[in-house]
C-alpha cells in the first residue's frame, strides 16, 4: 500500500509540475509535511545534498524520500512515479511543439506557465531562506558562549548570512562550485 501511495504522490507531482526541479520544491515540501514523511529542515538538507549529487533535484528528492519511507523498493516506486509523467509529457510535447510554436493560444499558455514556475521557485526560496538564516546555535557550537552572538541568534543566523555572502563572493570570483561546497561544509562544521 505504501508503495502505491509513493508512486501516486510522486507521479502526481511529476505530472502537474512545470518549470523544472526548483518549481517542484514548494509542492513537494507541502506534500511531504502533510504525510509527515519529512520535516522542512530535513527537506532543506535533502535539497542541499541533491545539489551536489548527479541528477535532477526532483528525482533525487523522490529517491531519498522513497528510501526514507519504505527502503529500496519505496525508493524505486517514488523515482519511477516522478520520472514517468515527465517522460511521456516530453514525448508528446516534442511531437506537437513545432506544430504549435506559432499558435497564439499555445504561447499564451506557455507564458502563464512560466509565471507560475517563477512563483513556485520563489516560494521555495522563501522556505529555504527561513531554514538557512533563522536557526539556533547547537550546544556544541564554538560561538555559543559569546553573549552578543547569542542575542543575534534569537532572530537570525549570522553564520548562515556569512556563508551565503562568502559563497556568492567566491562564485563571482569564478571559484569552482566543488571548492565552494567544500568551504561551506568546513565552515558549517567549524562554526555551527
pLDDT digits (tens, 9 = 90+) for 106-127: 888 777 777 667 766 776 677 6
The overall pTM is greater than 0.75: no
Answer yes or no: are the C-beta atoms of 79 and 73 closer than 8 Å. Answer: no
Mean pLDDT, the chain, as a whole number?
A: 78
Chain segment 28-60, per-residue pLDDT in tens: 777 777 888 887 778 777 877 877 777 777 888
pLDDT above 90 as % of the chain: 12
Q: Tell me: the pLDDT tens digits for 2-30? A: 999 999 999 988 887 766 666 677 777 77
Cα gap 180→171, rounded to integer Å: 8
Q: Cell numbers 562568502 correspond to what residue?
A: 166
Q: What is the mean pLDDT of residues 90-104?
A: 81
Q: How far apart are CA 26 and CA 33, in angstroms?
A: 11
Span 69-88, average pLDDT: 91
Identify the three-state secondary structure at position 84.
helix
* Other C-beta atoms lying within 10 Å of the C-beta of residue 21: 21
H helices of the chain, where? 2-16, 21-34, 40-52, 57-100, 104-133, 147-153, 158-172, 177-191
Of the pLDDT bands very low, low, confident and very high (cuts 50, 70, 90), residue 81 is very high
Identify which has the larger pLDDT, 179 or 111: 179
Looking at residue 151, its pLDDT comes to 59
Residue count (the chain)? 192
Alpha-carbon gap, residue 120 to 99, rounded angstroms? 29
Report how far residue 151's alpha carbon sits from residue 136's, in angstroms, rounded to the nearest whole number.
Answer: 10
Residue 78 predicted with pLDDT over 80: yes
Q: What is the mean pLDDT of residues 66-92?
A: 90
Amino acid at each position: 500500500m505504501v508503495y502505491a501511495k509513493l508512486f501516486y504522490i510522486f507521479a502526481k507531482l511529476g505530472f502537474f509540475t512545470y518549470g523544472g526541479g526548483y518549481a517542484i520544491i514548494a509542492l513537494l515540501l507541502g506534500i511531504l509535511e502533510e504525510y509527515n514523511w519529512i520535516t522542512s529542515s530535513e527537506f532543506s538538507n535533502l535539497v542541499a545534498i541533491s545539489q551536489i549529487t548527479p541528477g535532477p533535484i526532483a528525482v533525487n528528492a523522490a529517491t531519498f524520500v522513497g528510501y526514507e519511507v519504505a527502503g529500496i523498493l519505496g525508493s524505486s516506486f517514488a523515482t519511477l512515479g516522478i520520472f514517468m509523467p515527465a517522460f511521456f509529457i516530453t514525448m508528446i510535447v516534442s511531437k506537437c511543439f513545432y506544430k504549435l510554436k506559432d499558435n497564439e493560444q499555445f504561447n499564451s499558455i506557455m507564458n502563464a506557465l512560466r509565471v507560475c514556475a517563477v512563483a513556485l521557485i520563489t516560494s521555495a526560496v522563501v522556505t529555504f531562506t527561513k531554514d538557512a538564516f533563522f536557526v539556533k546555535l547547537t550546544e556544541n557550537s564554538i560561538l555559543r558562549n559569546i553573549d552578543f552572538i547569542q542575542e543575534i541568534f534569537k532572530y537570525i543566523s549570522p553564520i548562515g548570512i556569512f556563508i551565503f555572502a562568502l559563497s556568492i563572493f567566491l562564485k563571482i570570483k569564478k571559484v569552482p562550485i566543488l571548492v565552494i561546497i567544500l568551504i561551506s561544509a568546513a565552515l558549517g562544521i567549524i562554526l555551527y
